[in-house]
Structure 1
Amino acid sequence: MLLELLQAARSGNAARLRQIVAGCNRTHLNQVTEGGNTVLHIAAKMGHLELAKAICSLEPLLLTRKNFKSDTPVHCAARAGHHNILHYFVTAPFAYDRRGEEQEWFLRARNRFGNTALHEAAQNGHLKVAQVIMSVDSYLEAEENEAGVSPLYMAAERGSSTIVRLLLESDRCSYQGPNGQTALHAAVLRSYDITKLILEKEAGFIKVGDATNNSTPLHYAASSGNRKMVQLLLEKDSSASYLQDIEGLAPIHVAASAGHPNVIAELVQRRPDCTELITNQGRNFLHVAIVNKRLQVVKYVLESGILVDLNEPDNEGKTPLHLAVISKNRQIVQMLSSNGTVNTSIMNYEGHTPLDLAFLTINWEIALRMYNIMTDLINHGSRFTPQRLDLITNHLQRNQEGEIHRYKTLAKNLAIVAVLTATVTFAAAFTLPGGYKSDSSPNAGNAILANRAAFKVFLVSDSLAMISSISVAIIVLLRTGSLDHDIRLCSLITAMILMCAAVGGMLVAFATGIYVAVASDHKWLAVLIAVMICSVPLVAWMTAYWPSSDFLGLVKMTIIQETDVTADLDYRRYNRQIADRQRPGGIAEFHTP
């Protein structure tokens, strides 16, 4: 396209465009930009009405010309919301001219997505554009694009109630959306008013499932947690509460999975027996809530008195307590096991009690959590299934031997780091930043920068780092080799805390030392270095939680150690329970090394 022509089109200068065309061949109007846009595309997109009139009077066939995205000028005007230009297009005499290869009226032209101008107006929320289009062609609301999406679905998804109301005035209006959805699926997630309009027109869509997993609009509303929306749907047809998707999930299961007790309350109020619905895995809504760790739903069930069997097994014989243990959620385990109606020693179809599952699930990544769960189960009467006791004690002994090895490795690493930190901080105290006064005054030998605040922070942090690191070395050498488990545990934890303090003090000392030395001449450099030093803890934290990090193993190991004392007590307790059950005549106690 000629540069002058492009500039005239973008500025909306109709007079200039006429001059350009008059001075050359009219075929220049058929020139396009890199995107395939003609001057009429540009005028329609930018809302230049007078320019559009001038172009159409010179070359009316440009109205049906498509750019590289298959958009006509009508699409551009509809998408941008320029209803005045669109009104001119549909009322001008040339609009009814079907010359050339165009075999259908230009309003029904489709772009590469299959959208008509009405699709564009609905998707972008332009009511006046939609009114202009429908005043001329009322059949367009029945058209669907390449993805099977109707203008009504687009308007509902956009949340434009005025356009939805306009489209619903026609009996030919299509409700279809992508993947087998209807406009009601989109409406329940967007607007109460639009949902109400659609239900008043066609309430049967409440029971229509999508093509993905046969989810109805009530499934969608239940997943959003909008109780008012769920209430509106149930008022029209509460039997939709019983409809299930391809996995057997009813709306009450969806609400439980998403953690919305308010929606569950509404569903139970309308249809109390929907609590009996089970999924393809044989799970009720409480099972689903526990699998997804929805504490609020479990709490609601236990406190509200809903008629639910707390010991109901699924297809694998797993009760809610079994699933709570598998999900590793201690709070849910505590809530269920403390309820008097829950059988804490019930077996699944593989013969495992909840305590068995907790024991089998223990690994070094989640040991602390599972030991705590085992403690809760034991305290509420849960038992192991009948089995050989030597298998349990031998397993615990192997675990403890691994712990001792990890103790020694961690203690050795801590001692090395502590000695290095103490050496560095000790040397820094006698090589002060700025140096010493060397004149013959009474203050000779004193630090030159002693009066600066940053220097004082340097001294304090350096001293803190040195004292902490020396303390770590002493604790590791004298206490972590103790045979007493409690002493060894407390010593190691104390050493790690002091080591963190030493490293932090060393970082602060380095940052303040650099700052006090260069801030007077290059303050920006001093600030930059201080910021870089402050980022070290963040990098260390990210490294600690990075799956491939060696340091992660040390952190996990340290956390695990904190469980030993409690675990030892628990092991003695449940061994006594097993022994009492198997030897009623006396008490046999099994001790771990």
Structure 2
Amino acid sequence: MVNSDLFRVKEKVTVQGGKGSVVPRNFVSIGSCFPAVASPNYAAASPKSPHIMETHVTATANILPPPNGPHIMGTSAAAPPNCPRITETRVTATANILPITPHANLVRYVPLYQAALKGDWERAEKFLQEQQKEICQHYGPNSALIYDYRSIVTARITNASETALHIAAGARRVHFVEELVKLMHREDLELKNKDDNTALCFAAASGITQIAKVMVAKNPKLPGIRGNKGATPLYVATLLGHRDMVWYLYSASKNFLTEHDLVKLLIATVTTNLFNVALEILSKCPPLAIVRDENEETALHILAQKPSAFASGCNFGIWKRFLYSFPYIKQVYDTKVMHFQAIEVVKVLWHEVLKLDDKNMSALLREPSRPLFVAAELGIAEFIAVLLRDYPDLLWKVNSDNQSIFHTAVAHHQEKIFILIHDIGALKDLITSYVDGNNNNMLHLAGNLAPSSRLNTISGAALQMQREHQWFKEVEKVMQPLYMEMKNSEGKTPRTLFTEKHANLVKEGEKWMKDTASSCMIVATLIATVVFAAAFTVPGGNYDDKGIPVFLEVRSFIVFAISDALALFSSITSVLMFLSILTSRYAAEDFLETLPRRMVLGLTTLFVSIATMVIAFSATLFIVLRSRLDWIAIPIAILACVPVTMFALLQFPLFMDIIHSTHGFGIFYRPGKHMLY
């Protein structure tokens, strides 16, 4: 079946045999009585014939209007005598004479699909040449003169109606795309798949900027052609966070973007942490800061829900906290830049919000969510600091439960928000007096168990209980004595509520402590047993008459003796520490300092005993083997470091967590510089 709409007449034709019979100038209809009569330079059309472009045809043919649409008949089709004859017809045809059927022709294009997926252009060229060879075999060698590759490179080769360009772009094959685009016309790049996506949408999703540049250079209209659900390629790249691609397509799409597109783009850049692009958009069109999207949210609402975009919202571990102080590392530098840009976006957005009247500002801060309280719940201190510095009245805002942002911070255990209460001076006495509908004050909220999302960031039930007790003590410091014994609507004081809510956690903490102490005590006991026996079976033995060690004058023996003694003393100390943990009373207050300190001392002495035991063993081997194997010292020293290093690495995170939470600055450390005022 041939689509006659694809055939376009370039010049007028001469009609013989019928008065006034002419062929329309815009389209040439190929009827059912079109015989295969052609000059030697013309290859007759058939279901297997190639795509013909800019083909000059001289033909004598009988033509009838097609009864059921245009199609090609065989050479045996007879023409009625009244059929007008067209002679010396000069036609330029652009036709896909290779019909695309959903299933029959897909197998034919498997080699091209595989080549596009792997980026194998040589294989693709071979496939195209084979198609040309097939045409020559079917229609003669001269048919190759009018054959080109366009019908193949624009063919739909998947069930989703994707072309080879779609596949290569999605597979990030730059060279393949470059070669493929050379064989295509400008409008061919606008072909869409079943989801209405062009190949540029695939390139945008791939994130390879060079692929997009090649396509846009061929057809500058591509950035404005929308894909699935009206999304532009720029929006697709933004949703996937491809920064370089976004910058390129943003510069190439400026003439195609509507205000609605810019709002969606601004929201998407904030969502995917592309804050430098968001700042660029806001600098060009500041009013977008207060425009709502289809979910009635502004960029400020979205940013309040992104703790990872701010330093205070990132729960860094020990190593990450340490590395964060070294901005010369690229990854750390990029993270710091992102955090800085996020704060700048908040400032720009808030500056535009402040231009609103009180009614509209209140509406924006209340619906569909409350960004101030969302940020407090997620612990984004920088976000809240920016808002409060420029609009201090927000300090007195309360949510539906009559709770301030500090009450919200306590309820969700966000210490970086809570410590801001020390920046407001005596006003904190008024804030802490707020009670909710159940007559719970701030200390009652501290008495509740922390949300699991916050509790699970701490290793071990014992340390979790310690953190809960620290929270209660810290909130207690800012409360007036009157409120410490205040009862809620259930008749419970803050201390009573704390005890009830944490009863299960105390049991879990006791079990964790006992299990850890029992395992470590077994190891310490074995070490004490071994090194005690080694003291009486010294390497080389003793002189029988005096009982003096044979190698007493050798330096390695002195190392052995000292190491063995240290291993014995430290292992016994470790056993005693772990034994004291097992026999503790396990009251809630014990988790605050007593039990963690004993655990730290026990782990420290256990590490020392393991290290000195390994040193004593290494010294013994060296003493025995040194006379014949002088080189043995180096491999022994290297191997001795392995178990000691493994123990240190495996236990170091737990050890540092205990040290930090018990003896360090703690989570409520307040820097000298105030964040608010």
TM-score range, shorter chain: 0.5 to 0.7
* Separation in 2, partners of 1:475, 1:187: 54
Provide, for residues 69-103 of structure 1, a one-character-per-residue CA deviation record: whole Å limited to 9, x for no partner.
Answer: 865333325855668657635546xx6xxxxxxxx
Q: Is residue 464 from structure 1 mapped to residue 464 from structure 2 by the alignment? A: no
Q: Is residue 59 from structure 1 mapped to residue 149 from structure 2 by the alignment? A: yes
Shift of 1:215: 4.9
- The aligned residue for residue 128 of structure 1 is 213
Q: Is the 8 A contact 1:30 1:38 kept in 2?
A: no
Paired residue secondary structure (1:62): helix
User: What is the one-letter code of the residue matched to 2:488?
Assistant: N
Q: Is the 8 A contact 1:209 1:215 kept in 2?
A: yes
* Separation in 1, partners of 2:256, 2:566: 80
Q: Is residue 227 from structure 1 mapped to residue 349 from structure 2 by the alignment? A: no
Q: Is residue 72 from structure 1 mapped to residue 194 from structure 2 by the alignment? A: no
Q: Is residue 143 from structure 1 mapped to residue 227 from structure 2 by the alignment? A: yes
Provide, for residues 310-335 of structure 1, a one-character-per-residue CA deviation record: whole Å limited to 9, x for no partner.
Answer: 22233443332222333426357435
Shift of 1:470: 6.2
Matches within 5 A, 1:311-390: 311-326=433-448, 327=450, 328=468, 330=470, 333-334=473-474, 337-338=477-478, 343-363=483-503, 365=505
Q: Is residue 432 from structure 1 mapped to residue 538 from structure 2 by the alignment? A: yes
Provide, for residues 322-371 of structure 1, a one-character-per-residue CA deviation record: whole Å limited to 9, x for no partner.
Answer: 223334263574356335598333333322232222333454855999xx
* Separation in 2, partners of 1:155, 1:477: 60
Provide, for residues 236-295 of structure 1, a one-character-per-residue CA deviation record: whole Å limited to 9, x for no partner.
Answer: 34456744688x741112322333333223323555554455545554322222233333
Q: CA RMSD in A?
A: 5.8
* Separation in 1, partners of 2:385, 2:538: 70
Shift of 1:187: 1.9
Q: Is residue 517 from structure 1 mapped to residue 517 from structure 2 by the alignment? A: no
Shift of 1:509: 2.2
Q: Check 1:425–1:65 CA distance in 2 against 1; reply closer, same or farther (3 A cut).
A: same
**Please, which of 261, 268, 293 is the counterpart of residue 388 of structure 2?**
268
Shift of 1:218: 0.7
Q: Is the 8 A contact 1:241 1:271 kept in 2?
A: no
Paired residue secondary structure (1:175): helix
Provide, for residues 363-422 of structure 1, a one-character-per-residue CA deviation record: whole Å limited to 9, x for no partner.
Answer: 4855999xxxxxxxxxxxxxxxxxxxxxxxxxxxxxxxx99xx99x99999999877654
Once the two structures are overlaid, the 10-residue window that deviates more, 505-514 or 220-229, is 505-514
Q: Is the 8 A contact 2:442 2:475 kept in 1?
A: no
User: What is the one-letter code of the residue matched to 1:426?
Assistant: F
Shift of 1:232: 1.6
User: What is the one-letter code of the residue matched to 1:131?
Assistant: V
Q: Check 1:84–1:343 CA distance in 2 against 1; reply closer, same or farther (3 A cut).
A: same
Q: Is residue 117 from structure 1 mapped to residue 211 from structure 2 by the alignment? A: no
* Separation in 2, partners of 1:46, 1:149: 34
User: What is the one-letter code of the residue matched to 1:143?
Assistant: G
Q: Is residue 37 from structure 1 mapped to residue 114 from structure 2 by the alignment? A: yes
Q: Is the 8 A contact 2:563 2:612 kept in 1?
A: yes
Q: Is the 8 A contact 1:317 1:347 kept in 2?
A: yes
Shift of 1:474: 9.7
Matches within 5 A, 1:432-511: 432-433=538-539, 435-436=540-541, 446-447=550-551, 450-452=554-556, 455-468=557-570, 497=601, 501=605, 504-505=608-609, 508-511=612-615
Provide, for residues 473-512 of structure 1, a one-character-per-residue CA deviation record: whole Å limited to 9, x for no partner.
Answer: 999999x999xx9xxx999988995796367435532454
Q: Check 1:135–1:425 CA distance in 2 against 1; reply closer, same or farther (3 A cut).
A: closer
Q: Check 1:319–1:134 CA distance in 2 against 1; reply closer, same or farther (3 A cut).
A: farther
Q: Is the 8 A contact 2:563 2:613 kept in 1?
A: yes
- The aligned residue for residue 264 of structure 2 is 182
Alignment identity in percent? Answer: 21
Q: Check 1:450–1:496 CA distance in 2 against 1; reply closer, same or farther (3 A cut).
A: farther
Q: Check 1:515–1:67 CA distance in 2 against 1; reply closer, same or farther (3 A cut).
A: farther
Paired residue secondary structure (2:228): coil
Shift of 1:30: 8.9
For these two proteins, the number of residue pairs brought into alignment is 452
* Separation in 2, partners of 1:491, 1:282: 38
Q: Which runs of 5+ in 1 are unaligned?
A: 1-24, 96-104, 370-401, 546-554, 560-593
- The aligned residue for residue 418 of structure 2 is 298
Q: Check 1:154–1:317 CA distance in 2 against 1; reply closer, same or farther (3 A cut).
A: farther
Q: From the CA coordinates, give the structure whose radius of gyration is larger.
A: 2
Matches within 5 A, 1:573-592: none
Q: Is the 8 A contact 1:250 1:277 kept in 2?
A: no
- The aligned residue for residue 197 of structure 1 is 281
User: What is the one-letter code of the residue matched to 2:500?
Assistant: L
Paired residue secondary structure (1:135): coil
* Separation in 1, partners of 2:521, 2:346: 62
Q: Is the 8 A contact 2:443 2:475 kept in 1?
A: no
TM norm structure 2: 0.51
Provide, for residues 101-147 of structure 1, a one-character-per-residue CA deviation record: whole Å limited to 9, x for no partner.
Answer: xxxx5523237x7642232343424563463365245651x3236xx
Shift of 1:64: 2.3
Shift of 1:539: 5.3
Q: Is the 8 A contact 1:259 1:297 kept in 2?
A: yes
By relative contact order (CA 8 Å, sep 6+), the higher-ranking structure is 2
* Separation in 2, partners of 1:512, 1:281: 65
Shift of 1:31: 6.5
Q: Check 1:44–1:469 CA distance in 2 against 1; reply closer, same or farther (3 A cut).
A: closer
Provide, for residues 511-543 of structure 1, a one-character-per-residue CA deviation record: whole Å limited to 9, x for no partner.
Answer: 541465277476647733541354345557799
Shift of 1:228: 1.6
Once the two structures are overlaid, the 10-residue window that deviates more, 459-468 or 304-313, is 304-313
Q: Check 1:477–1:151 CA distance in 2 against 1; reply closer, same or farther (3 A cut).
A: closer
- The aligned residue for residue 190 of structure 2 is 107
Matches within 5 A, 1:1-40: 36-38=113-115
User: What is the one-letter code of the residue matched to 1:313?
Assistant: V
- The aligned residue for residue 249 of structure 2 is 163
Q: Is the 8 A contact 1:44 1:74 kept in 2?
A: no
Q: Is the 8 A contact 2:346 2:386 kept in 1?
A: yes
Q: Check 1:287–1:144 CA distance in 2 against 1; reply closer, same or farther (3 A cut).
A: farther
Paired residue secondary structure (1:350): coil
TM norm structure 1: 0.58
Q: Is the 8 A contact 1:337 1:344 kept in 2?
A: no
- The aligned residue for residue 531 of structure 1 is 642
Q: Is the 8 A contact 2:200 2:223 kept in 1?
A: no
User: What is the one-letter code of the residue matched to 1:74?
Assistant: L
